[in-house]
């Protein structure tokens, strides 16, 4: 399995970023691909480690057979490697681009893990390029009809699996394009929308029906034998400060959606950072996507506020391998801001105190305040640390607090205290013919977890249909 000495001979090398100055001129992919010979060299680094934590719960929610397809890739057997990958990974073209690659951090090579994500991307793009990715409709139909509400990664993974198991699947999507956050959320430079469209066409060719611009409700799915709710955890955490109703204050996903619509249509974005001082509230990945998007739109400056202290540079004793390392990471948007502005956009232990608007009701500045750990265990403002910062666009990327009430009301179901549709027995079965999966069940998470959850829900529905005879 693998080249036992590969990791001693070849250093880890990721797909290189395009130069920041170059990629800031467009919304095209961030990375270029390594030459094929180097790719095989990277796969050869997957050693015969004996206990591959990469495919354990620590490393991969899909339990991808990583050492097996790395070995085949190294040997030049791309098609066999892809087939092995597709046994567990429904859409490697998504995870190969946006997955944080928990597997690489759980790798026995620790900080120097095998480049599984780039290897996965190479294999699936070979698959599409070589014409190996052909529709796989089921050989026979069961006669059962399943409705899927929501076409994010959870809904798409469930639809693919249910369809291949022979059920007739209709995906309802309230937006004008399928994909959920893959389409409207994750920016084009991280996941080109043509890649999402390509997969939708394949699913359609396999027999999955998509009904767009349509709200799924109990009435809309009444004629189906089962319904799976995959509506996401899309309710944003609001900014509860004086002046938050000013013009130019937006939630991150609304801003990123407008940017994607503009990139797709070529028209000016409905919300633009051009020539504005932009402040992003939230130091996480969504905030980073806002930073990268604002820079591409030609903002004057960008600052990213984070309430928490900066994470440590390296693992602490309480965060050992093979856990995901909770360490300081500088993502593409922050790297681009450093290249453009000469300094990191992140300001830690700081939050917004109030927002000031001009006579036209639009934000002109905001006051920030430093935070310090308080005796009660939380964070408290530090008196006298207030700073007034110019701001023409304030983007709130402060996380999500659960699924939206519209879908709950439409199906007459109630969320738990954390805003999730999460049955107490750990299953996906809510009640009667109704199931839930993805962020809607787990809370805002990762694409790879949504895919795994969608597939698990599909298997549960299949078993339930066969058991109950619906
Ligand atoms: C800006 C941003 C960037 C992210 N980047 C990454 C990343 O790089 N890597 C990563 O792994 N994860 C990332 N995530 C997280 C990841 O996108 C989510 O965990 C994942 O998309 C959840 O999938 P889902 O299918 O459960 O829900 P969603 O992707 O949220 O899709 C839900 C869909 O359901 C539709 N819907 C809701 N209710 C109804 C209804 N009643 N009828 C019809 N349709 C309905 C919505 O319109 C939406 O299209 C990011 C999240 C955000 C917000």
Domains of the chain and any CATH numbers: 6-129 (1.10.1060.10), 145-234+401-468 (3.50.50.60), 249-396 (3.50.50.60)
Identify the pLDDT of residue 100: 97
Nearest to 461 by CA among 146, 95, 91: 146
What pLDDT is stored for residue 94 in this prediction?
98
Is the CB of residue 186 below 6 angstroms from any atom belonging to ligand 1?
yes
Residue 229 CB less than 6 A away from ligand 1:
no
Q: How confident is the model at residue 469, as a pLDDT?
A: 76
b/e map of 329-367 (b: 16 or more CB within 10 Å)? Answer: eebbbbbbbeebeeeebbbbbbbbbebebeeeeebbbbb
Contact 38, 74 (CB under 8 A): no
pLDDT at 386: 97
> Is the CB of 447 inside a 6 Å radius of any atom of ligand 1?
yes
CB 152 near ligand 1, within 6 Å: yes
pLDDT of residue 377: 82
Residue 214 alpha carbon, nearest atom of ligand 1: 43
Maximum alpha-carbon separation in the chain: 71
Cβ–ligand 1 distance for 216 under 6 Å, the answer yes
46 within ligand 1 shell (Cβ under 6 A): no
CB 367, CB 387: distance < 8 Å: yes
Report the separation in Å between the CA atom of 405 and the middle of ligand 1, taken as the mean of its atom positions: 16
**145: helix, coil or strand?**
strand
Which residue lies with its CA nearest to atom 8 of ligand 1?
98
The Å distance, Cα 77 to ligand 1 centre, comes to 34
Whole-number pLDDT of residue 375:
84
Query: How much is the pTM?
Result: 0.97
The predicted pLDDT at position 50 comes to: 87
| pLDDT at residue number 1 | 59
Mark the ranges of the chain whose per-residue pLDDT is less than 50: none
Ligand 1 atom 20: residue of nearest CA: 447
CB 392 within 8 A of CB 365: no
Residue 77 confidence (pLDDT):
98
Cα(99)–Cα(311) distance, rounded to whole angstroms?
21
For ligand 1, whether the C-beta of 96 sits within 6 Å is: no
Q: How far is the CA of 104 from the centre of ligand 1 (A)?
A: 24
Can you tell me which atom of ligand 1 is nearest the CA of 410?
A: 41
**Is the distance from the beta carbon of residue 407 to the nearest atom of ligand 1 less than 6 Å?**
yes
Question: What is the reported pLDDT for 338?
Answer: 97
């Amino acid at each position: 399995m693998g080249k036992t000495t590969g990791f001693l001979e070849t250093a880890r090398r990721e797909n290189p970023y395009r130069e920041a100055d170059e990629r800031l001129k467009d919304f095209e992919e961030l990375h270029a691909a390594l030459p094929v010979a180097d790719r095989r060299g990277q796969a050869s680094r997957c050693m015969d480690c004996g206990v591959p934590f990469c495919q354990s719960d620590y490393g991969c929610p899909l339990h991808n057979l990583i050492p097996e397809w790395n070995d085949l890739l190294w040997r030049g057997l791309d098609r066999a490697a892809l087939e092995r990958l597709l046994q567990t990974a429904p859409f490697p073209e998504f995870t190969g681009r946006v997955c944080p690659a928990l597997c690489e951090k759980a790798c026995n090579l620790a900080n120097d893990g095998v480049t599984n994500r780039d290897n996965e991307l190479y294999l699936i793009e070979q698959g599409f390029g070589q014409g190996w990715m052909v529709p796989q409709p089921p050989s026979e139909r069961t006669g059962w009809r399943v409705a899927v509400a929501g076409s994010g990664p959870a809904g798409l993974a469930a639809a693919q699996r249910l369809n291949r198991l022979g059920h007739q699947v209709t995906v309802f999507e309230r937006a004008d394009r399928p994909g959920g956050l893959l389409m409207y959320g994750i920016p084009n430079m991280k996941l080109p929308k043509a890649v999402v469209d390509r997969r939708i066409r394949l699913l359609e060719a396999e027999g999955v029906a998509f009904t767009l611009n349509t709200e799924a409700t109990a009435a809309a799915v009444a004629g189906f034998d089962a319904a799976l709710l995959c509506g996401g955890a899309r309710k944003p955490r609001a900014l509860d400060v004086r002046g938050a109703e000013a013009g130019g204050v937006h939630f991150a996903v609304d801003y990123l959606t407008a940017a994607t619509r503009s990139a797709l249509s070529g028209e000016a974005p409905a919300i633009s950072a051009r020539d504005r001082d932009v402040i992003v509230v939230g130091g996480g990945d969504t905030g980073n996507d806002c930073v990268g998007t604002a820079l591409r739109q030609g903002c004057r400056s960008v600052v990213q506020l984070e309430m928490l202290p900066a994470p440590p540079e390296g693992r602490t004793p309480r965060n050992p391998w093979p856990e995901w390392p909770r360490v300081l990471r500088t993502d593409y948007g922050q790297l681009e801001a450093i290249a453009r502005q000469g300094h990191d956009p992140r300001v830690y232990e700081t939050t917004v105190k109030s927002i000031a608007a001009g006579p036209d009701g639009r934000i002109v500045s905001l006051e920030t305040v430093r935070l310090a750990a308080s005796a009660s265990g939380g964070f408290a403002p530090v008196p006298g640390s207030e700073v007034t910062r110019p701001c023409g666009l304030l983007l709130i990327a402060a996380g999500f607090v659960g699924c939206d009430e519209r879908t709950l009301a439409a199906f007459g179901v109630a969320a738990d205290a954390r805003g999730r549709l999460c049955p107490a027995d750990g299953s996906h079965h809510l009640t009667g013919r109704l199931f839930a999966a993805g962020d809607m069940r787990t809370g805002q998470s990762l694409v790879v977890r949504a895919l795994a959850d969608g597939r698990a829900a599909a298997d549960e529905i299949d078993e339930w249909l066969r058991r109950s005879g619906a």
